[in-house]
A = this chain, B = another copy of it.
Amino acid sequence: MAVYTDISEAELIAFLKQYDIGTLLSYKGIAEGVENSNFLMTTDRNSFILTLYEKRVDRCDLPFFLGLMEHLADKSVKCPLPIRRKDGEAIGQLAGRPAAIIEFLEGMWPRNPQASHCREVGRALAQMHSASQDFQLERANALSVGAWRPLWEMSSARAEEVERGMAAEIENDLVELEEGWPVDLPAGVIHADLFPDNVFFLSDRLSGLIDFYFACNDLLAYDVAICLNAWCFEKDGSFNITKGMALFDGYISVRPLDDAELEAMPLLARGAALRFFLTRLYDWLTVSNDAKVVKKNPVEYLKYLRFHRRIGNVGEYGYRGVE
């Protein structure tokens, strides 16, 4: 839930003079997104999302994020199109912050994802991976394997406040992941945060992917591993292999996974679980309770991590290959 910066009608109207999108009729702060301030804005022509980028987003990364969305939309990957100003720029300045206007995307994110949703997500993820192969900009993944130990060290002293005895197993994971992390798998642009609240559906049909503000260059299969974590566990912490099957089926219907990617999947999934565990743990221990961000309990991801340690091969996640 997030509106960090309010804006006045006068400054918004002045800002909109740079665009050719009609006359302002309303704007309301919306409670989605935890990094930025988002407004649902309507003009006499259409609806839009207005985003003010707050300090957690590096403004030097904005051309990558917005350029990627434009590149993907051009290639018919379902995602909202950034609106360019009359002068061709996609990024402006509003209330002292970088700001952009994005097409409004119809659809709802699934609060209770089903296997049918997982299949659609797998397909869309593979479409995104394929379509971004010729995207020219690059952005390193600031939260990949090399970042995990420093992140852990910022929380490790207090980690046992969350669960006693946890530190030793995390240290062990770090060693094994750092040593075993694959380097020569197919790489490209990954979404890196494709959780259910970033995927919109109209009935069972995927209407679009949103929130590309963690997108970066990394191993494509790692993005699949993130989705295994984000989509295939039930609320009780159990893994739903039917959803795993659907996710893989959807993905490989567009882009096959090679043997090395399949072999690496349990390690990648464990890495993905550790990555989200570590950022949640850090936020849990450091973000004050009066912040507008709803903190997510890191223990959920500790459970997933323990599950992945016991997985021997990708078939145990539901992968069945091409029929």
CB of B106 within 8 A of CB of A8, answer no
CB of A9 closer than 8 Å to a CB of B:
yes
CB of A227 closer than 8 Å to a CB of B:
no
CB of A190 closer than 8 Å to a CB of B:
no
Interface size class of A (residues with CB under 8 A): 35 or more
Provide the residues of chain B in CB contact with A30, threshold 8 Å. 28-31, 40
CB of A6 closer than 8 Å to a CB of B:
yes
CB of A162 closer than 8 Å to a CB of B:
no
- Using a CB-CB cutoff of 8 Å, which residues 1-45 of chain A contact chain B? 1-3, 6-10, 12, 24-32, 40, 42
Return the contact of A290 from the options B31, B32, B289 (Cβ within 8 A). Answer: B289
Provide the residues of chain B in CB contact with A111, threshold 8 Å. 6-10
CB of A107 closer than 8 Å to a CB of B:
yes
Provide the residues of chain B in CB contact with A28, threshold 8 Å. 30-32, 40
Kindly supply a per-residue 1/0 record for chain A positions 98-118, scoring 1 wherever the CB is within 8 Å of any chain B CB and 0 otherwise: 000000111110111000000
CB of A260 closer than 8 Å to a CB of B:
no
Complex: A108 Cα to B26 Cα, angstroms: 5
Complex: A6 Cα to B1 Cα, angstroms: 11
Complex: A290 Cα to B29 Cα, angstroms: 19
CB of A202 closer than 8 Å to a CB of B:
yes
Return the contact of A9 from the options B8, B24, B47, B110 (Cβ within 8 A). Answer: B110
CB of A205 closer than 8 Å to a CB of B:
no
Q: Copy number of this protein in the oligomer?
A: 2
Complex: A202 Cα to B9 Cα, angstroms: 10
- Using a CB-CB cutoff of 8 Å, which residues 151-166 of chain A contact chain B? none
CB of A1 within 8 A of CB of B292, answer yes
Provide the residues of chain B in CB contact with A32, threshold 8 Å. 28-29
CB distance from A148 to the nearest CB of B (A): 29
Return the contact of A31 from the options B1, B8, B110 (Cβ within 8 A). Answer: B1
Provide the residues of chain B in CB contact with A12, threshold 8 Å. 108
Provide the residues of chain B in CB contact with A104, threshold 8 Å. 26
Complex: A112 Cα to B11 Cα, angstroms: 11
Provide the residues of chain B in CB contact with A288, threshold 8 Å. 289
Provide the residues of chain B in CB contact with A110, threshold 8 Å. 8-9
- Using a CB-CB cutoff of 8 Å, which residues 97-148 of chain A contact chain B? 104-108, 110-112
Provide the residues of chain B in CB contact with A201, threshold 8 Å. 9
CB distance from A204 to the nearest CB of B (A): 11
Given contacts A28-B31, A30-B30, contact A42 B290 (CB under 8 A): no
Provide the residues of chain B in CB contact with A42, threshold 8 Å. 47, 106
Most buried by B among A29, A200, A201: A29
Contacts A26-B108, A28-B32, A29-B32 known; 19 new A-B pairs at CB < 8 A? A1-B3, A6-B111, A8-B110, A8-B111, A8-B112, A9-B111, A10-B111, A25-B107, A25-B202, A26-B105, A26-B107, A26-B200, A28-B40, A29-B30, A31-B31, A40-B40, A42-B47, A288-B289, A290-B290
